[in-house]
Amino acid sequence: MDLHSYQKLIADIYLSKDKQRGLDKTFNWLIEEIGELAQAIRKGEPDTIREEFADCLAWLLSVGTILGVDAETALKKYAAGCPKCGTIPCQCKEHG
């Protein structure tokens, strides 16, 4: 499944609820799921990591849909490589 189709699927499943919940609360759910992914990573639980990753992606797409952001269009930022140095792999020097 491509990203556009996945965003549409998530919207078909959840957009009505997401709109009722509103942007702020939907965004808060995304942040909560990111915290759950962080816990799974710390615990080294591959199955839970996969599940939480999927949850994070679904909530991110929900936020994007509410904001009118098409994920595939947004990803064009990286189509030619690193947006700062323009290379693949990135050749930027790390800071801090």
Answer whether residue 96 shows pLDDT above 70.
Answer: no
**pLDDT tens column, 1-53:** 899 999 999 999 999 999 999 999 999 999 999 999 999 999 999 999 999 99
Domain residues of the chain, as ranges? 3-78
* Model confidence, pTM: 0.90
**pLDDT tens column, 83-94:** 999 999 999 998
Residue 65, pLDDT score: 98
Task: Put residue 95 in one of left, alpha, beta given phi > 0 → left and psi -120 to 50 → alpha.
Answer: beta
- Is there a contact between 17 and 66 (Cβ–Cβ < 8 Å)? no
Superfamily name with CATH number, domain 3-78: MazG-like (1.10.287.1080)
